[in-house]
């Protein structure tokens, strides 16, 4: 029997209690006189990015695409692209509870793929952050992603009726709701601890409703300033995903002939931030982060029923590097390079190579970000 991380929910609850107890001092604010505070912030950023593998294709599918094989599968013009990221954010901060600040933030992101508009997507995020004291805050957040396209796959129910014709390839896409709570506290004046719990709902389109799922994640991150020049960060995250696993009213996960993409994942990360010597009196910094994730699929179906998920293990590697400089106040420019790779394995020899051919990939993204902040 595969063990799932059920005790992690209890651990998160304990950590929340610790956060509240260690940050409760001063929750009612300073009893001295206070001045009413109100401020609007507006942030605009734009990124210009080259992505060499926008659909995270394995070598198998890149070869198919370049050879113009598998008619009906590919609905893109190029497997790489230049992408424009647009982000607009506005926030209002005031002190509802004496001298403790409350911030309401709304931001939207929209990504435009120059040659492959099918991949365009946008997201809206809303959050409310309440300061507990000078060292701590609690934040509630929600995000909505109306439509995210992954790629085209065959609808196997259509294949049973129409056969292997191009029309049986249908878009694999979803809508997503995310709800969460983030707690932040500061210890020893130079160590910040962030605890985040999230609940996510994924609703796939009518061709792939068996992939609908509910995910729970927990995230613990620690930022520590060694001195004015160096800072480090590290953390751990888990994700527990429970997929629907069936697509007909008279089915359930145990009796269906559909895929079960349930999984749990453990993620660790480590980062370094370096404040560089000023360049022409301009502030600039370097940030480097490494992330490793181990995802284990937990379907109870046998390997012949679910070749893509039974015994599957994903090893995900990510490396992020960025250089940021601040030419003028409230204006920053950064260049970055991101590398992502997935290497799969399986507990079963019968589907190990099949999964590798389908899901192994590498990807890099490099670009430039310009950001401007306006305070009123």
Give a yes or no: residue 37 inside a domain: no
Question: In the Cβ-directed half-sphere of 134, how many Cα atoms lie within 13 Å?
Answer: 3
| 342 found inside a domain | yes
Digitized pLDDT (tens) for each residue of the chain, 376 residues in all: 444 455 555 566 566 666 655 655 545 444 556 678 889 999 999 999 999 999 999 999 999 999 988 889 999 999 999 999 999 999 999 998 888 999 999 999 999 999 999 999 999 999 999 999 989 999 999 999 999 999 999 999 999 899 999 999 999 999 999 999 999 999 988 999 999 999 999 999 999 999 999 999 999 999 999 999 999 999 999 999 999 999 988 889 988 999 999 999 999 999 999 999 999 889 999 999 999 999 999 999 999 999 999 999 999 999 999 999 999 888 999 999 999 999 999 999 999 999 999 999 999 999 999 999 988 7
CA-CA distance, 10 to 29, in Å (whole number)?
Answer: 31
Is residue 52 included in any domain, yes or no? yes
Residue 265 domain flag: yes
Extended strands (E) in the chain: 38-51, 81-97, 100-113, 121-131, 137-154, 169-187, 191-204, 213-225, 230-243, 263-279, 282-297, 312-328, 331-346, 361-375
- The answer to the question of residue 247 being in a domain is yes
Residue 218 lies in a domain: yes
Placement of tokens 């940050």 in the chain:
23
| Structural domain of 151 | 7-25+42-375
32 falls within a domain: no
CB 281 within 8 A of CB 327: no
**173 in any annotated domain:** yes
Whole-prediction pTM: 0.90
**How many domains does the chain fold into?**
1
Instruction: Report the CATH number at residue 331.
Output: 2.40.160.40
Distances (CA, A) of 302 to 258, 309, 354: 12, 10, 15
């Amino acid at each position: 029997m595969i063990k799932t991380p059920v005790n992690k929910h209890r651990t998160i609850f304990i950590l929340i209690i610790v956060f509240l107890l260690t940050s409760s001092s001063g929750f009612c604010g300073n009893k001295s006189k206070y001045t009413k505070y109100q401020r609007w912030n507006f942030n605009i950023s734009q990124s210009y990015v080259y992505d060499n593998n926008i659909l995270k294709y394995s070598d198998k599918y890149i070869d198919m695409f370049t050879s113009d094989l598998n008619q009906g599968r590919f609905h893109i013009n190029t497997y790489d692209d230049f992408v424009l990221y647009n982000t607009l954010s506005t926030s209002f901060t005031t002190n509802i509870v004496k001298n403790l600040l409350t911030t309401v933030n709304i931001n939207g992101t929209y990504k435009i793929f120059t040659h492959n508009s099918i991949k365009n997507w946008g997201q809206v995020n809303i959050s409310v952050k309440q300061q507990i004291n000078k060292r701590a805050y609690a934040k509630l957040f929600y995000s909505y992603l109306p439509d995210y396209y992954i790629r085209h796959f065959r609808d196997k129910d259509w294949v049973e009726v129409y056969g292997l014709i191009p029309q049986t390839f249908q878009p694999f896409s979803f809508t997503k709701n995310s709800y969460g709570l983030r707690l932040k506290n500061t210890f020893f004046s130079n160590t910040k601890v962030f605890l985040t719990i999230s609940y996510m709902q994924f609703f796939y389109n009518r061709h792939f409703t068996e992939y609908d799922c509910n995910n729970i994640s927990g995230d613990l991150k620690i930022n520590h300033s060694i001195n004015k020049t160096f800072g480090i960060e590290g953390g751990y995250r888990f994700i527990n995903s429970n997929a629907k696993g069936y697509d007909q009213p008279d089915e359930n996960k145990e009796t269906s002939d559909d895929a079960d993409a349930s999984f749990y994942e453990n993620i660790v990360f480590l980062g370094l931030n370096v404040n560089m010597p000023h360049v022409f009196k301009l502030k600039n910094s370097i940030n480097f982060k490494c992330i490793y994730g181990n995802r284990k699929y937990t379907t109870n179906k046998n390997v012949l029923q679910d070749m893509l998920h039974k015994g599957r293990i994903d090893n995900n590697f990510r490396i992020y590097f960025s250089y940021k400089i601040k030419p003028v106040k409230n204006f920053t420019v950064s260049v970055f390079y991101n590398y992502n790779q997935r290497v799969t394995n399986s507990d079963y020899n019968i589907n190990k190579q099949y999964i590798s051919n389908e899901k192994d990939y590498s990807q890099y993204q490099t670009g430039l970000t310009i950001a401007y902040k306006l305070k009123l």
